Amino acid sequence: MKLVHPEISQTIDFQCGRVNELIIENQRFFRTFIEDINLGIAGFGSKTVLSLKDKPVDLSKYALVITEYAPLQLNKKTLITKITQSLEKEALNESNYVDTMGLVAQIENYLLGLSLSLPCEIEFGKISIGVLIKAMSPEIVESGKNTIEKLFDFMELVRELERDKVYVLVSVRSYISDDEMESFLSTALSHDHKILLLESQARKKLEMTKRLIIDKDLCEI
């Protein structure tokens, strides 16, 4: 994957064998760069172009911007929706179909039995396993995990439930120490995750990063 922006001369190449780090010291450009990517992710027009095998791809499908780390929430609506859909698909596959339909029938019969105590006749709509799964409010267990572990788990879940994406981690180094960051980047690279560290100020250069600095005068270093 590659990312280009008309106001940045260099191409950000995610196949370089390192994690890309983009430091934008100009506050206005830092803000507008993030806004532009978020517009693309939301499905609107964007100056930022992300490509896969040199063909442009939809930012809304292939990119995510993460700005919150304290705490980092794994239970995001989009991810829970994908988990619910995956559980429903599993419930209706060949090996589970008979048990699933039997359970749905038991619940329908149980509700009909309860309705006999009422002084009127009751009809129920059809119950689906998808409705039952949603009613149980599935959540990802987050307890006992630190920010780095949650971040890696999140990327692995997105890969499994959706697809590989580019993760734009905004100001993450303000929350995570250099030692922790090096450990996280090593693990992420070994699993071939695509990451852009987006920072507003330069910190210690990490061994596994490829750094591009845009200073206050918009000069590239």
Task: Examine the pLDDT at 106 and tell me if it is beyond 90.
Answer: yes
Question: Which of 87, 118, 135 is a domain's end point?
Answer: 135
Output the pTM of the full model: 0.88
- For the ranges 29-33, 119-123, 210-214, the lowest mean pLDDT is seen at 119-123
The confidence band for 126, taking pLDDT boundaries of 50, 70 and 90, is confident
Task: Examine the pLDDT at 73 and tell me if it is beyond 90.
Answer: no
Note the pLDDT of residue 15.
87
For residues 30 and 130, state if they share a domain: no
For residues 10 and 61, state if they share a domain: yes
Mean pLDDT of the chain: 95
Number of domains in the chain: 2
- 22 three-state secondary structure: strand
Query: In the predicted model, what is the mean pLDDT of residues 133-137?
Result: 95
- Ranges of beta strands (E only) in 14-128 are 19-24, 49-52, 55-57, 63-66
**What is the rounded CA–CA span in Å between residue 26 and residue 164?**
30
Task: Sort 164 into a burial class: Cβ within 10 Å, 0-12 / 13-18 / 19+.
Answer: middle
Domain that holds residue 33: 2-73+163-214
Identify any residues that bridge with 21 across adjacent strands, giving them in sequence order.
197, 211
Note the pLDDT of residue 159.
96
Task: Examine the pLDDT at 4 and tell me if it is beyond 90.
Answer: yes
Contact in structure between 59 and 48 (CB atoms under 8 Å): yes
Smallest CA-to-CA distance from 33 within 221, 218, 209 is with 218
For residues 90 and 105, state if they share a domain: yes
Residue 10 falls within a domain, yes or no?
yes
Residue 146 falls within a domain, yes or no?
no
Note the pLDDT of residue 143.
80
Residue range 162-184, pLDDT digits in tens: 999 999 999 999 999 999 999 99
Task: Sort 84 into a burial class: Cβ within 10 Å, 0-12 / 13-18 / 19+.
Answer: middle
Question: Which of 119, 135, 151 is a domain's end point?
Answer: 135
Note the pLDDT of residue 209.
96
- DSSP strand pairing (194-199 vs 209-214): unpaired
Give, for 39, the enclosing helix (H) or strand (E).
helix 27-41
